[in-house]
Amino acid sequence: MPLIELDQVSKVYRMGDVEVHALREVSLTVEERDFVAVMGSSGSGKSTLMNIIGCLDRPTGGAYRLDGAEVSRLDRRQLAGVRNKTLGFVFQSFNLLSRTSALENVELPLLYGGVPARERHRRASEALGRVGLADRVHHRSNEMSGGQQQRVAVARALVTRPRLILADEPTGNLDSRTTVEIMVLFQELATAGITILLVTHEPDVAAYASRVLVMRDGRVRTDERQRARRAVDDLAATAPPDEEPPKGPPDDEPRKAPPADEPRKASA
Amino acid sequence: MIPLETFRVALRALLRNKMRSFLTVLGIIIGVGAVIAMVAIGEGAKAQVEASFASMGSNLLIVLPGSTQSSGARGGFGTMPTLTWDDLAAIRREAPAVRYAAVQLRSNAQLMSDDQNWATSVSGTSPEYFLIRSWKAARGRSLLDSDVDASAKVVVLGQTVVDKLYGAVDPIGQTVRIKNIPFEIVGVMEKKGQSPMGQDYDDCAFVPQSTFQSKIQGGLQKFISGTIFIGATSTDSTARAETQVTDLLRDRHHLDSAADDDFSIRNLTEMANAQADGMRTLTTLLASIAGVSLLVGGIGIMNIMLVSVTERTREIGVRMAVGATPLNILLQFLVEALTLAVAGGLVGVALGIFTAGRLAAKFGWPTLVRPDIVLISVCFSGLVGVVFGLYPARKASQLDPIDALRYE
Ligand SMILES: Nc1ncnc2c1ncn2[C@@H]1O[C@H](COP(=O)(O)OP(=O)(O)OP(=O)(O)O)[C@@H](O)[C@H]1O
Ligand SMILES: [Mg+2]
C-alpha cells in the first residue's frame, strides 16, 4: 500500500470573482521510503501540494489517502494527531520558537504527543545529537546560525520518528555548503526508512532525491526516477567554511529569519 | 499536554513581556486591592461601632423626660422633668420585661484633688445602673445599696478622671472635692472607651443618687432630673419592654390617646442594628464599586490577550504543525489569561492588606481584613481571567494551521 495516494486532488482559491487553480486534479502516489524532490516555477502549486499532503490544508476536490486513511474524514483534533505522529515538517523559514532553547523546540512535538518529561528530554537530546548539535542543546534559536536553526528544525521533524517528512524549500535560506550538510541529513533519514518529500528550486538539491516531480500551473508535468547523488561525497569535496573564500555568511553568524512568535510590527 | 507544562509555557510567555503583563493586570491589582482595603475599612468601622454599642450596655433602653415633639412652647426632651420617682418604682414593679431600672441624675461639676482639678459629668445613680451597663469596678468597688440608703459621700471615678487628677497614684481612699464637698473615692470603673458618637465614656464620676440629690443638685424633688436606664430581661424582650414602659408611663401620666408622649424612649439595640445595617450597605457599595474596576481589569486582559494571539499567530501555526490540537491551543491561552488574572489578584490582595494596614496606622482607622473576602477576590479575579480570556483563546484555537503559518 502506498503511503501517499492523491486522486484528482484540486485546490481552488477564490479571490473575489477570480478563481485561482493552485492544483488541478493532481493524482500521485508515493511509496514508503521514497525520497521525492518537487520542482517547478514559482506559483506552480508546490507549496499547496505539500500543505495538503501535510494535513495543514484541505483540498477543494478529489481524495487524499495517507497510509490508507481518508484524510477528509478526519476532524481538526485527529488531523493534529496525524501531524504529530505520522508527519514531520521542515520549513524554508525554519519556524522555530524564538528565544526558546534548541532542546525545547525539539521537545515540542513530544509535548503534544504526551511523552513524559524524562523521555522527552532523552529523545530530544538524541535527535539533536543526530543532526550534529549535541553541543548546542541549550542555545536559543536566535543565538544560532541559519544552518544550525535548520538542523534544529530537522531534529524537531524526526524526533517523533515520523513516517513522512515534508520539507518546503528547506535550503532556500542557506548557503551552498550548509545546503549540502542539510541534504546529508535528509539522505540519512531516507536511508533510515523515512519517506521524504522536498520542494526545491535548485536542480543541485533535487539531484540528491531518487525521484523528481516537476510541476507547472497546478499539474505534475514530469515524474522521473533517478540515481541520487550522494551528499556525503559532496560534503567531503567542499572545503570547510574557514578555508573557503567568503561566499555567503559564515556558519557561526546568527542569521535573521522571521521567528515564529516574535512580535510583528503592524504592516498592512 | 500536561497541565504543568501548559502553565510553564503560559508563565514563560507572560514573563517575556513583563512590563506589558504588569500593565495588563494593573486593573485587576487595583480592583482587588480596592476591594480588600475598602472592605477592611468598612468591616473595621462596623466592628468598632458594634463594640461601642456593646459597651453602652446590653438590652438597653433609655427613658428621657419631655416630649420628642420640639415645636410649640414645650422644649425638647430632657428639658422639662416629667418622670417621677414613683414612675421609676412603677416600672420596676409592673413591667415584666424589665429586669433592672436605675436613674442617672446628671450634672457637670468641678472635681478637685489636692493639687489638680477637672470638670466632668457627675451622675447620681444606684447599683442597678452598673448592672444594666455591665460595668464593673477595675479597682476598689462600685456603688452599693447601702451607700444609697446612707447618702454616703462616696464616689466612683471613671479612668479618664483618675488620669487627670491622680496620674499614676492610687486614688482609692483619697478624698476628692465635688462642688467643694469632700467625697471618699471608693472605686475606679473599668475603661469603656468611646461612644458611637465619639464621646469619652470614662470621663465621669458616680455618686449615690441620694447624695446627689441632697448635696449636688440641692434639695429632694418629686421629679427625676435625669434619665431612667432600663435593662430588659433579654435582647429579644427589649421591644416588649419598650411597649410596656410606654403604656405604663402614658397611663400614669394620664395621657389620652390623642396626646403625645411626654417622655421618649431610646432603644439602643435598635440603634446598634440600624448602624450596623448602614455600615453593611456602605461596605457593599464600596465593594461593588471595586468590583466594577475588576471587570474593567478583565476587559484589559481580553484586549491584551487578543493582541497576543495576533502577535503569536505564527507561533500558533508552528504549534499546530507539530501536533497541537485546538484544545491544546485553547488551554494555553486560557491558562495564560488565568495566570495573569490570579497573579494580579494575589498582588492586589497584598496591596489591599498593605493599604489597609497603612490607613490603620496613619489615621487610626480600625481595619479588619476578612479572609473570606480575600479568597472571594482571588477566585473572582480568576473567574474574570477565564471569562475574558475565553474569547481570545477560542479565536486562537480556531485558527487554520496553514493560515497561521503563513501569517505575516
Ligand atoms: N492563500 C491563498 N490565497 C489565494 N491564492 C493562493 C493562496 N495560496 C496560494 N495561492 C495561489 O496558488 C498558486 C500556487 O501557490 P503555491 O504557494 O503552491 O506556489 P509554489 O509553487 O509554492 O510557489 P513558490 O515556488 O513561489 O513557493 C499561486 O498562484 C498562488 O498565488
Ligand atoms: Mg512555495
A51 closest CB neighbour out of B314, B326, B402? B402
B221 close to B245: Cβ distance less than 8 angstroms? no
Which pLDDT band, with edges at 50, 70 and 90, does B76 fall under?
A: very low
User: H-type helices in B253-325, by residue range?
Assistant: 268-311, 313-321
Measured CA to CA, the distance from residue B297 to residue B384 in angstroms comes to 8
Single-letter code of the amino acid located at A167:
A
Partner-chain contact B321 A264, CB within 8 Å: no
Which DSSP state fits B231? E
- Check whether B196 has a pLDDT greater than 50: yes
Residue whose C-alpha cell reads 435598635 in the numeric block: B270
Residues of A in contact with B317 (CB under 8 A): 95, 260
- Asked whether residue B133 falls in the same domain as residue B239, the answer is yes
pLDDT at residue B189, rounded to an integer: 93
Residues of A in contact with B311 (CB under 8 A): 261, 263-264
Measured CA to CA, the distance from residue A77 to residue B192 in angstroms comes to 71
Beta strands in B5-131 (DSSP E): 60-65, 98-112, 117-125
Q: Does residue A36 sit in helix, strand or coil? A: strand
Return the sign of the alpha-carbon dihedral for residues A89, A95, A100, A101.
Answer: positive
Partner-chain contact B322 A54, CB within 8 Å: no
End-to-end CA distance of chain A: 47
Q: Does residue B198 sit in helix, strand or coil? A: coil
Q: Does residue A18 sit in helix, strand or coil? A: strand
pLDDT at residue B222, rounded to an integer: 79
Beta strands in A125-259 (DSSP E): 164-168, 195-199, 211-216, 219-225
Residue B182 in domain: yes
Q: Which one, of A96, A60, A268, A174, lies nearest residue B408 by Cα?
A: A268
Residues of B in contact with A84 (CB under 8 A): 322-323
Measured CA to CA, the distance from residue B286 to residue B42 in angstroms comes to 8
pLDDT single digits (tens) A161-204 = 999 999 999 998 888 888 999 999 999 999 999 999 999 999 99
pLDDT single digits (tens) A224-265 = 999 999 998 888 887 665 544 444 444 444 445 555 554 444
Phi, psi (deg, nearest 5) at residue A14 = -105, 115
Residue whose C-alpha cell reads 475588576 in the numeric block: B294
Residue A8 in domain: no
Residue A248 burial (C-beta neighbours within 10 Å; 0-12, 13-18, 19+): middle
Q: How many CB atoms lie within 10 A of CB A168?
A: 21
Q: Whole-prediction pTM value?
A: 0.73
Distance of CA B366 to the CA centre of its chain: 9
Mean pLDDT is lowest, of A230-244, B18-32, B159-173, B257-271, for A230-244
Q: What is the per-residue burial (b if ≥16 Cβ within 10 Å, else e) of B317-327? A: bbbbbbbbbbe
pLDDT at residue A37, rounded to an integer: 96
pLDDT at residue B279, rounded to an integer: 78
pLDDT, averaged across chain B? 86
Which pLDDT band, with edges at 50, 70 and 90, does B77 fall under?
A: very low
Measured CA to CA, the distance from residue B84 to residue A61 in angstroms comes to 107
Residue B176 in domain: yes
pLDDT single digits (tens) B43-75 = 887 777 777 777 777 688 899 887 654 444 444
pLDDT at residue B220, rounded to an integer: 65
Residue A67 in domain: no
What is the atom index within ligand 1 of the atom nearest the CA of A46?
Answer: 21
- Asked whether residue B218 falls in the same domain as residue B362, the answer is no
Q: What's the average model confidence in pLDDT over B115-126?
A: 92
Residue B300 in domain: yes
Residue A247 in domain: no
pLDDT at residue B238, rounded to an integer: 86
Residue B391 in domain: yes
Q: Does residue B219 sit in helix, strand or coil? A: coil
pLDDT at residue B206, rounded to an integer: 95
Cell numbers found for residue B371: 479572609
Angle between the N-to-C axes of helices A102-112 and A117-130, in degrees from 0 to 180, rounded to the nearest 10: 130
What interface predicted TM-score (ipTM) does this complex get?
A: 0.87
Please work out whether the CB of residue A36 comes within 6 Å of at least one atom of ligand 1.
Answer: no
CA distance A97 to chain B (A): 7
- Asked whether residue B245 falls in the same domain as residue B290, the answer is no
Residue A245 in domain: no
Phi, psi (deg, nearest 5) at residue A70 = -75, 115
- Asked whether residue B87 falls in the same domain as residue B218, the answer is yes
Residue A149 in domain: yes
Q: Which one, of B287, B305, B340, B355, lies nearest residue B28 by Cα?
A: B340
- Asked whether residue B209 falls in the same domain as residue B285, the answer is no
Cell numbers found for residue B51: 463594640
Return the sign of the alpha-carbon dihedral for residues B183, B184, B185, B186.
Answer: negative
Q: Which residue of B has its CA nearest to A82?
A: B323
CA dist B296 to A121, B30, B283, B395, Å?
A: 42, 10, 20, 21
- Domain span at residue B107 reads 83-261
- Asked whether residue B187 falls in the same domain as residue B133, the answer is yes
Q: How many CB atoms lie within 10 A of CB B391?
A: 15
Residues of B in contact with A71 (CB under 8 A): none
Q: How many CB atoms lie within 10 A of CB B215?
A: 17
For residue B402, the ligand closest to its alpha carbon is 1
Last residue of a domain, one of B235, B261, B287: B261
Measured CA to CA, the distance from residue B274 to residue B280 in angstroms comes to 10
- Asked whether residue B126 falls in the same domain as residue B218, the answer is yes
- Asked whether residue B88 falls in the same domain as residue B180, the answer is yes
pLDDT single digits (tens) B331-371 = 999 999 999 999 999 999 999 999 988 988 887 777 888 88
pLDDT single digits (tens) A66-119 = 999 999 999 999 999 999 999 999 999 999 998 899 999 999 999 999 999 999
Angle between the N-to-C axes of helices B268-311 and B18-56, in degrees from 0 to 180, rounded to the nearest 10: 170
% of chain B beyond a pLDDT of 70? 94
- Distance in Å, CA A226 to ligand 2 centroid: 23
pLDDT at residue A116, rounded to an integer: 92
Residue B216 in domain: yes
Measured CA to CA, the distance from residue B31 to residue B371 in angstroms comes to 17
A84 closest CB neighbour out of B2, B315, B322? B322
Under an 8 Å CB criterion, which residues of B touch A?
1-2, 5, 16, 311-312, 314-315, 317-328, 400-402, 405, 408
B133 close to B229: Cβ distance less than 8 angstroms? yes
Which DSSP state fits B365? -
Phi, psi (deg, nearest 5) at residue A151 = -70, -35
A87: Cβ contacts below 8 Å, ≥ 6 apart: A54, A55, A162, A163, A164, A165, A166
Confirm or reject contact between A111 and chain B (CB < 8 A).
Answer: yes
Residue B166 in domain: yes
Q: Maximum CA pair distance of chain A?
A: 56
For residue A202, the ligand closest to its alpha carbon is 1
- To 5 degrees, how large is the angle CA B64–CA B68–CA B72? 125
- Check whether B307 has a pLDDT greater than 60: yes
pLDDT at residue B201, rounded to an integer: 85
> Domain holding A93: CATH number?
3.40.50.300
Measured CA to CA, the distance from residue B120 to residue B161 in angstroms comes to 8
- Check whether B195 has a pLDDT greater than 90: no
Q: Which residue of B has its CA nearest to A158?
A: B322
Residue A17 in domain: no
Q: What's the average model confidence in pLDDT over B213-221?
A: 78
Partner-chain contact B315 A54, CB within 8 Å: no
Instruction: List the single best residue of B307, B322, B328, B405 to mutate versus A (max A Cβ within 10 A).
Output: B322
- Asked whether residue B239 falls in the same domain as residue B325, the answer is no
Last residue of a domain, one of B211, B228, B261: B261
Distance of CA B50 to the CA centre of its chain: 5
pLDDT single digits (tens) A14-63 = 988 999 999 999 999 999 999 999 999 999 999 999 999 999 999 999 99
- Residue of A11, A24, A26, A44 to mutate, ligand 1, most atoms within 8 A of C-beta: A44
- Domain span at residue A156 reads 33-58+74-239+253-261
Cell numbers found for residue A228: 541520487
- Asked whether residue B245 falls in the same domain as residue B301, the answer is no
Q: Which residue of B has its CA nearest to A156?
A: B322
Please work out whether the CB of residue A236 comes within 6 Å of at least one atom of ligand 1.
Answer: no
C-alpha dihedral (A130, A132, A134, A139), degrees to nearest 10: -120
Residue B377 in domain: yes
pLDDT at residue B2, rounded to an integer: 66
Residue B268 in domain: no
Domain count along chain A: 1
Domain count along chain B: 2
Residue A92 in domain: yes
Residues of B in contact with A264 (CB under 8 A): 311, 408
Cell numbers found for residue B358: 497603612
Per-position DSSP letters for B58-94, written without gaps between them? SSEEEEEES-S---SSS--TTSS---BHHHHHHHHHH
Measured CA to CA, the distance from residue B46 to residue A69 in angstroms comes to 71
